[in-house]
Amino acid sequence: EPLAIAVQGLGPRQQVTLQMSLRDETGELFQACARYQAGDDGELDLARCPALPGGSFSGLEPMGLLWALQPQKPFWYMVKKDVQSPFLLQLEVFDGHGDPPGRLLAQAQHERAFLRDGVRRVPVREGRIRATLFLPPGEDPFPGIIDIHGLGGGLFEHRASLLANHGFATLALAYYQYEDLPQEPTELHLEYFEEAVNYMLQHPQVKGPGVGLLGYSKGADLSLAMAAFLKNITAVASLNGPVAITSTPLRYKDKVIPSLTINEERVKIIDSNILDCSDILIDPFQAPGNQSLIPLEKAEAQLLFITGQDDRVVKSEYYATEVCKLLQAQGKENFQMLSYPGTGHCIDPPYFPLYPIGNHPILHKRAVLGGQLGAYSKAQVHAWPQIQAFFNKYL
Strands 206-216 and 233-239: what pairing? parallel
254 noted as active-site residue: no
pLDDT score of 99? 85
Using DSSP, state whether 229 is helix, strand or coil.
helix
Catalytic site residue from 345, 348, 360, 377: 345
DSSP 239: E
Q: How confident is the model at residue 270 (pLDDT cuts 50, 70, 90)?
A: confident
What secondary structure does DSSP assign to 118-157, as a single string?
T-EEEEEEETTEEEEEEE-SSSS-EEEEEEE--SS-S---
Beta-carbon contacts of residue 262 (< 8 Å; ≥ 6 apart): 280, 281, 282, 362
Mean of per-residue pLDDT scores for the chain: 95
Comparing 126-135, 184-193, 269-278, 328-337, which segment has the lowest mean pLDDT?
269-278
Give the model confidence (pLDDT) of 221-255 as tens digits: 999 999 999 999 999 999 999 999 999 999 999 99
Kindly state the average pLDDT of the residues 159-174: 98
Give the model confidence (pLDDT) of 172-227 as tens digits: 999 999 999 999 999 999 999 999 999 999 999 999 999 999 999 999 999 999 99
State yes or no: pLDDT of 288 exceeds 80: no
Kindly state the average pLDDT of the residues 101-120: 96
Kindly state the average pLDDT of the residues 66-77: 94
Catalytic site residue from 221, 311, 348, 360: 311
What secondary structure does DSSP assign to 5-54, as a single string?
-EE-SPPTT-EEEEEEEEE-TT--EEEEEEEEE--TTS-EETTTSPBBTT
pLDDT score of 12? 98
Kindly state the average pLDDT of the residues 90-100: 95
217 noted as active-site residue: yes
345 noted as active-site residue: yes
pLDDT score of 169? 98
Burial of 257 by CB count in 10 Å (0-12 exposed, 13-18 middle, 19+ buried)? buried
Kindly state the average pLDDT of the residues 297-322: 96
Measured CA to CA in angstroms, residue 100 lies from 17, 35, 95, 124, 160 at distances of: 10, 13, 11, 49, 40
State yes or no: pLDDT of 362 exceeds 90: no
Catalytic site residue from 217, 223, 238, 247: 217
Kindly state the average pLDDT of the residues 3-23: 97
pTM, whole model, 2 decimals? Answer: 0.96
pLDDT score of 109? 98
Comparing 12-16, 96-100, 164-168, 185-189, which segment has the lowest mean pLDDT?
96-100
DSSP 296: G
State yes or no: pLDDT of 363 exceeds 90: no
Domains delineated in the chain: 6-112 (2.60.40.2240), 120-394 (3.40.50.1820)
Using DSSP, state whether 163 is helix, strand or coil.
helix
Give the whole-number percent of the chain exceeding pLDDT 90: 92
